[in-house]
Each structure stands twice: as structure tokens, then as C-alpha cells.
Homo-oligomer: A and B are copies of this chain.
């Protein structure tokens, strides 16, 4: 383990690299290869091993590790409150944690990318946490795993699969049930639609009508030029699909991030509904685009139409092409979007073209379960919080009902994706304060129970 200072982070966050096993589950010669996995320790608040003070572990998601530190102030608040050490673990194949020495080598082909999987990432966490605890003589300290979105799935799965490693888990906005046949495929876009409709029926109607209007204009002579002008695209449009994909992504991202105080759905709908009297449908939708998160702020001169085509340089796309198959799609008339059903055949073809791999749509439910979750985990497991904001379209694949006394669902009607983990601000609404307070109380109980069990089972806690 080597350390280096990280100039982008406050000084109490110190970066290290752990020599991690490439393949935890096989014993081929190449399985023993290692890579440098980035992690961050912060001892500022820690009460120390002798008082059995907690270790809060941030389980990295599909992003560089600094994404887990910046803006996720609730985790630091928890550390301060519980005298916890903070340990942030970067996910393999993201950020600086590249097997095979470099991004280019790691992403060369399926032979090198093949070790990017959720089970390997969980075993990385298990091994790293065990070693860090051993080096601190902190074996008795409770570990609280925290993550958001995919990182939240990993946090809950770490508790389920490695209860000896994670004492409890806070899984924020983790759609662990959006796999296989567990959740209606159109659930995601139904929530997006409801978010918009809830804010404004006319906004919803405008968007719903806009797709065919775009198609109609695109079919006219110089239609794409017309559309490019209406939507102030920075470059001329190559197809109407490009525009529709971009607009669709605006609505999806707005719904997913429909958190206070910004509430992007209200912003977009405010612009759509607030367009000058007489503005036609496309003009209204264009006004919505200009008010959106992707515009790049008020000083932006035009709209960069983003290419959302999956790329073979994305680790997350690899993961969705192997095991993280979330069958998200929708029919012709069940949402405000044009029909786009999930089609496993096309999905598979696309993955084969991108990476040469075939997705395994049943694997996640085989490995981690999900069917009859309440029956299965009702008398098994403990100490997991599944937190969700119901405005988050992923919440439809989340756990929204208590499974047992200590595997519980915490949700807010007015929150969206990953809100609870974010920095506290003076404008945080009461319901958000209440959600965080509830999570704090639950985690406090886990820690107290852990330490009570230690005493009961004869493990010494020094004071």
C-alpha cells in the first residue's frame, strides 16, 4: 500500500493504492495477477480501534473515486457523528484502478475487460476492507457500507454476501430489482412520465405530442435544417433520431435528478409552459431544452446534441452487456415517449458488435436473488437500508417496502436519485432532514448492537 496526497481533495482525505487480486474465484496463473486499486482513508473523525469506533466504507460505483467524495457530504456527516473512519474504495476498471496497467490495455478486448464484474468488485471490497482492518488492529470495528445507485447495489450485496465484512449497509437509490422479470420493463419511463405529468399536465401533453411533430417536420424538405434551427443545435442534425434521443435523455436526466432546490423537471416544464402565447409544440419543447441541465447554463450559445450511442470505451456499457442487464423499455402508449420496447435480441446483437460478448440476463437474479425477496430475506439477513426518492425513475426497481425489522425501506415522495447522500444545504426541506435523521438513527442502532454483541460474545472492547 502506497500513499500519495491528492491535491483535489481536502488534506484529511489521503489516497492509497492496494495491490489487488485480479481474479478472486479462479486459480489460473493469470488469476494471481494483481493491479493497483485506489482507495482513500480519512481518519479525521475516527475514535480508534480501541473504542471499536466504526469504519464507514464508501463502495465506489462506475466512476472515478473522487465522485464519491465530492458532494456526498452525508457520508462525512455520519463519520463526524459516529467518530468513524472513512474508507473510499474505487471500483475496478474505473478511475485510476485499471488492471493491466492502463486504460488502453484494460479496455483492449474481452480478454482484458473480462475481469470487470460485480462479484469481482465485491470480493475486492472484502479483501481490501479485511486488510485495512487488520493493519489497524480494527477487526472488532463495525463496518457500514454505503453506496449510491450501482454503488448502492454493491453496498447491499456486500452486506448480503459478506455479513462478516459489512455490519450494515445504506443502499441509496439502488435498483436491485430492475433485473430479469422482477419489475415491469416500462416502470422507469412511467415514473419519468408521472414526474412530468405531476408537475404539469400541459407540459406532459406537449412532450407527448412533440415526437410525431418532430417526425413530421423531419420528413419535410430541409426538415432537419428546420429542426436544427428550432432547437439551436451547435451542429446541423444528421437525423431526427439524434434529436429525439437527446430530448429523451433530457427528460430522463431531469426526472432522475429532480431534487430540491433545483428541481429540473419544474425548470423544463416551466420553460415549456411559459413559452410566449402562440408558440407551437416544437418551440415549446425547444424552450424546455434550453432550460435543461444539458444546456450548459445561460451563457451557452447553442445546444450540443450529445451522441448517446453506447461505446466500447465505457466500463458501464461493458457491465450492462454482460451481467447488469436492466430490461428498460416501454410500449407505444404507456408513457409520454415514443414506443421503444426492450428487445433482448437487439440488445444482445449490439453487445456482440461492441465487445464480442453475450449478455446473461438471468445472472444477477441467480447470484443475488430478487424473486420473492420479502419471503427469502424476511427471515434472513439484517441491517440494510434501501433508501429511495420516488421521483427517481430507478426507484421503481428499488426496495420500497420493509423486508424485516432491520432490512428496511426509507423513501421520500419528493426526492429523486441519491439525494440523501448529498451535501446538506440550508435550503434542505424538512422531509429530507427527516429522512437523513431516520437513517442516522438506524445506523446508530446497528453500531450499538454490534458493540453489544462483541461484549456478549466475549470480544474485548477497550475504553
- The distance from the CB of A274 to the nearest CB of chain B, in whole angstroms, is 46
Q: Are A126 and B367 in contact (CB under 8 A)?
A: yes
A358 surroundings in chain B (CB, below 8 A): 32
- The distance from the CB of A19 to the nearest CB of chain B, in whole angstroms, is 14
Instruction: Mark out the residues of chain A between 95 and 123 whose CB falls within 8 Å of any chain B CB in the assembled complex.
Output: 110-111, 113-117, 119-120, 123
- Give the B-binding residues of A (Cβ under 8 A): 23-29, 31-32, 110-111, 113-117, 119-120, 123, 126-127, 130, 139, 161-165, 318, 322-323, 356-358, 362-363, 365-383, 406, 449-450, 453-454, 456-457, 459
- The distance from the CB of A278 to the nearest CB of chain B, in whole angstroms, is 53
Q: Are B28 and A110 in contact (CB under 8 A)?
A: yes
Rounded to whole angstroms, the CA-CA distance of A162 and B127 in the bound complex is 20
Q: Are A459 and B372 in contact (CB under 8 A)?
A: yes
Q: Are A457 and B375 in contact (CB under 8 A)?
A: yes
Given the known interface contacts A25-B117, A26-B117, A111-B29, the answer about A379 and B375 at a Cβ–Cβ threshold of 8 Å is: no
- The distance from the CB of A164 to the nearest CB of chain B, in whole angstroms, is 3
Q: Could you pull out 15 A-B pairs where Cβ atoms are within 8 angstroms? A: A25-B120, A26-B26, A26-B115, A26-B120, A29-B111, A29-B114, A123-B366, A126-B367, A127-B366, A165-B369, A375-B459, A379-B382, A379-B383, A380-B382, A380-B383
Q: How many copies of the shown chain assemble into the complex?
A: 2
Rounded to whole angstroms, the CA-CA distance of A162 and B367 in the bound complex is 7
A130 surroundings in chain B (CB, below 8 A): 362, 366
Rounded to whole angstroms, the CA-CA distance of A114 and B31 in the bound complex is 8
Rounded to whole angstroms, the CA-CA distance of A367 and B303 in the bound complex is 50
A449 surroundings in chain B (CB, below 8 A): 379
Q: Are A26 and B29 in contact (CB under 8 A)?
A: no
A123 surroundings in chain B (CB, below 8 A): 366-367
Minimum CB distance partner of A406 in chain B: B379
Q: Are B457 and A163 in contact (CB under 8 A)?
A: no
